[in-house]
Amino acid sequence: MIRLVLVDDHELVRTGFKLILGQHSDIQIIGEAASAEEGLRLIRTQNPDVALVDVHMPGMSGIELTERALRSQLPTRIIILTVVSDARFPRRLLEAGAMGYLTKGCATEELLAAIRQVAAGRRYLAPDVAQQLALATLDGGGSPFEQLSARELEVAMMLVRGKPVFRIAEQLHLSPKTVSTYKQRLMTKLEVENLIALAHLMEAYSLIEPRGGLQAAATASA
């Protein structure tokens, strides 16, 4: 029996997955969460075999959830869900923790195959994503975010959501000086001069929803 949790801020999406997966006797949905923060707590307490996690959610993102689960050495295997298949999604994030990558428009058979394969300890990538990643590797393409460390990426995600340095420091249990160092380092690596430019770049590489971080970044830069 594969014990599974759903982490998605859209109730209709969770309902759809429950209707589909509830018809299969080898999969048991043991919980659901409407935010990544709630999802991480659910994963910690329930220890599911697999978690289906939306990449874009208010507050903490599915990316951050995956990174934190990895750092905490949680046994749950995570499948990232996204609306579009975009090979510019940083390869390093998949290598760092996510065991699967699916689009929400995938066929039922593909969803089931992904869950079963990941539960068995094998990685699953949607075929079109795998092909695009392979082509990107051949032509030298990739994401500039691959050069960031996990912590730098986490700080970047928080910055574009408008969180000030001292709040980020509190949440990550770091000193404000250390967070400022991460901020300067990541902006130098990405060759951006301000948070609005950082938000634009993260948008372009599907790390935030279109226009999702621009208002927050503009407010933080003011």
Predicted local distance difference test score (pLDDT) of residue 42: 96
Predicted local distance difference test score (pLDDT) of residue 179: 94
Predicted local distance difference test score (pLDDT) of residue 222: 43
Identify the top-confidence range among 95-104, 111-120, 194-203: 111-120
Higher pLDDT pick, 130 / 172: 172
Identify the top-confidence range among 27-36, 125-134, 142-151: 27-36
Q: Does the pLDDT at position 16 exceed 70?
A: yes
- Please write the tens of the pLDDT for every residue from 64-102: 898 889 889 999 999 988 776 555 554 655 665 889 888
Burial classification of residue 12, based on how many CB atoms lie within 10 Å of its CB (0-12 exposed, 13-18 middle, 19 or more buried): exposed
What SS3 class is residue 74?
coil
Count of positions (residues) in the chain: 222
Q: What is the mean pLDDT of residues 27-46?
A: 96
Pick the CATH number of 144-221 from 2.60.40.1930, 3.40.640.10, 3.40.50.1100, 3.40.50.2300: 3.40.50.2300
Pick the CATH number of 2-138 from 3.40.50.300, 3.40.50.2300, 3.20.20.140, 3.40.50.10490: 3.40.50.2300
Predicted local distance difference test score (pLDDT) of residue 74: 93
Predicted local distance difference test score (pLDDT) of residue 86: 54
- Please write the tens of the pLDDT for every residue from 55-72: 878 778 888 898 889 889
Cα 29 from Cα 23, distance rounded (Å): 11
Assessment of whether the complete model's pTM goes beyond 0.75: no
Tell me if domain 2-138 and domain 144-221 are identical in fold. Answer: yes
Q: Does the pLDDT at position 26 exceed 70?
A: yes
The set of residues, in sequence order, having a beta carbon less than 8 Å from that of 34 and lying 6+ positions away, is 8, 9, 11, 14
Q: What is the mean pLDDT of residues 160-188?
A: 91
Amino acid, res. 165: V
- Torsion (CA) 119, 62, 207, 151 in degrees, nearest 10: -100
Q: What is the mean pLDDT of residues 193-198?
A: 92
Predicted local distance difference test score (pLDDT) of residue 127: 72
Predicted local distance difference test score (pLDDT) of residue 209: 63
Q: Does the pLDDT at position 173 exceed 90?
A: no
The set of residues, in sequence order, having a beta carbon less than 8 Å from that of 9 and lying 6+ positions away, is 34, 35, 54, 57, 58
Q: What is the mean pLDDT of residues 38-51?
A: 96
Lowest-pLDDT range, 9-18, 39-48, 127-136, 184-193? 127-136
Cα 166 from Cα 72, distance rounded (Å): 23
For 68-124, the three-class secondary structure string (H helix, E strand, C coil) is HHHHCCCCCEEEEEECCCCCCCCHHHHHHCCCEEEECCCCHHHHHHHHHHHHCCCCE
User: How do the domains of the chain map onto residue ranges?
Assistant: 2-138, 144-221
